A and B are shown apart, each in its own frame.
Chain A
Amino acid sequence: MSAALIIDILLWGSVAAVGSIALRRGGSVLTASVREGGMDFINIVPRIALGVIGSGYIAAVIPQDIITGWLGPDSGWFGVATAVIAGAATPGGPVIGFSIAAVAMKSGGGSPQIIAYVIAWALFAFQRLLLFEIPFMPARFVWFRAAVSLPIPFLAATIAMAIGRP
């Protein structure tokens, strides 16, 4: 059984378990939560579709050698550094970040480079530092946190290269 299938079963199993808890609290709780979740689902589906289908189109349009040259499996540390800078510079929410990673994946980017991109994006996305972290935490903590996280995407790429996955 593949890992993907196990994850799917786990996720759907937990949905069913939580659903049965809601049902036990009363039918109205279940219908209210199903309605709310359904609305969220309807709102999210177009964005996921945009990410998945859009990244496929972009991957088909971008010349392959640009991606393989900059981020391909043979680009090595140069590719990882490029990915880290690109990840830190990517604005916007998860759809944008993950879709760009999907473009790189579909058009021949190397796994360590894409891992470095996703992790750098999650850690450093500049706009998010300014919008969410600095208002809530002391600015010096945020900059300090970003600075000590600098080696993290490189470490992740190293681990990915060492274990040869994904």
Chain B
Amino acid sequence: MASALLSVGADFGATIALVVSWTLIGYGRAVAWELPILGTDFTLWRIVISLPLPILAGAIGRFVYVRIYPKGAPPRGLP
């Protein structure tokens, strides 16, 4: 999914936010594994704390990216 977005020219920061939010907030793993093993209280707070983080990762990614490639992505291959 993320690689498809990248290849059709999605914003770099947005793609990072997508991947990070999928790893941190994706509910499949939380419901199947984290809830039973670590308990509801921990899982809930862990997810609440994670909510702002993908946006931040995307912002940092973008900040660094536009400084490494000020003229946009290099001609071949991504990023």
Contacts and interface: CB of A to CB of B under 8 A. Distances in A.
Nearest to A141: B79
User: A interface, by DSSP: helix, strand, loop or mixed?
Assistant: helix
Given A4-B41, A94-B32, A145-B16, A140 B78 contact: yes
The interface size bin for chain B is 35 or more
A114 interface: yes
A71 interface: no
A3 B29 contact: no
B78 A138 contact: yes
A165 B42 CA distance: 8
A114 B45 contact: no
Contacts of A156: 49-50, 53
B72 to A, nearest CB: 15
Contacts of B41: 3-4, 166
A151 B58 CA distance: 12
B37 A145 contact: no
Given A114-B42, A123-B20, A123-B23, A144 B50 contact: no
Interface of A: 3-4, 7-8, 11, 44, 48, 51-52, 55, 94-95, 98-99, 101-102, 105, 111, 114-115, 118-119, 122-123, 133, 136-138, 140-141, 144-145, 148-149, 151-152, 155-156, 159-160, 163, 165-166
Interface of B: 2-3, 6, 15-16, 19-20, 23-24, 29, 31-42, 44-46, 49-50, 53, 56-57, 60-61, 64-65, 77-79
Please provide the 7 A-B residue pairs with the shortest distance between their CB atoms, ordered closest to farther.
A166-B45, A4-B40, A94-B33, A98-B37, A148-B61, A137-B3, A51-B37
